[in-house]
Amino acid sequence: MITRSAFQPAWWLPGPHLQTLYPSLFRTRKIPPLRRERIELPDGDFVDIDWTPQTDGLCILILHGLEGSIDSHYAGGILSALANSGHTAGLMYFRGRSGEPNRLPRSYHSGETGDLDYVMQYVGQLHPEKGIAVIAYSLGGNVLLKWLGEQGDRAIPLTAITLSVPFDLNSAALRLEQGLSRIYQHHLLQRLRESVKHKASKHSMPYPADRLGDLRTFRQFDHAVTAPLHGFNGVDDYYRRSSCKPFLKHIAIPTLMLQARDDPFLPASALPDENDLNDLVTLELSRRGGHVGYISGRNPLQPVYWSEQRILQHLAAFH
């Protein structure tokens, strides 16, 4: 089902790039008290989760975006909003993103659902008395939706919410090579190259560390590094097998996907249509909002982070 979002952008942040960049540059990071838990994975690696204090509310797992962490502008905001609303929330870090390098040469990627599956099974056993929900941003949203489609009616969560998902990875990569979107590509690739250089000091990498500067687009980076490192036959095989769009119709729990048509990370032509969805999956579209932006409010000194309000509204039906 596709519905129209009630979101109205702040008059002082009218365009997609202002909506996208403002919270990254200016939002005050307010992080609630957190307890770190390390989960050992079957292959000898690990992932970490930062938990808010235990409550009687829902247990909610949060998945970050590409190169995200607790420092991402949305992380502290949603953790605080959930904790203040009586829920227990945990930010799950993908491999290598919790401030400590992961142990193996491999890392995380847009289609890696094995780690999420292992963590969800663990969380379900840890909190059998609680209802479980998942919130995921950008790349994390692609991972979550793909996993939910793979799970079908075996999925553990009561509900799921995603924001600004790159539903078709090839379309997203090509979009990031165009216009002002190249600033995001440049920034993210710079961080990815640094991560690979660090790994290259301890592990054998599929591409020479001293030539990483030659990889100037996501397609080039994913073809030279991501795909061979994780067992794909090149970038097209990686994007085809990892994009979540073909999995959406197989999702068997109520799922809300918040998406803006002007997202500078994805062309509107790559958004799912009704044929890609089922009755349990809602694509809530807004004309504006950028990428993980959704900032409203009349006063520039008091920005309103609308997506957090919308998330709490959705979760209220499951609490």
Q: Which residues are catalytic?
A: 138, 263, 291
- What end-to-end distance do the CA atoms of the chain give, in Å? 23
Token pair of 273 as six digits: 């249509």
Q: How far is CA 162 from CA 96, 135, 142, 215, in A?
A: 22, 6, 8, 29
Closest residue by Cα to residue 197 from 96, 109, 98: 96
Side by side, the strands of the sheet bearing 35-40 are 2-4, 281-286, 255-260, 159-163, 132-137, 59-63, 88-92, 46-51, 35-40
**Residue 177, Cβ neighbours under 10 Å: how many?**
14
Token pair of 114 as six digits: 């094995």
Task: State the alpha helices, DSSP H only, in 70-136.
Answer: 73-84, 114-126
Length of the chain, please? 319
Q: How far is CA 52 from CA 61, 85, 207, 253, 280, in A?
A: 11, 12, 39, 25, 29
Which H/E stretch holds residue 2?
strand 2-4
Q: How far is CA 2 from CA 90, 125, 270, in A?
A: 29, 34, 14
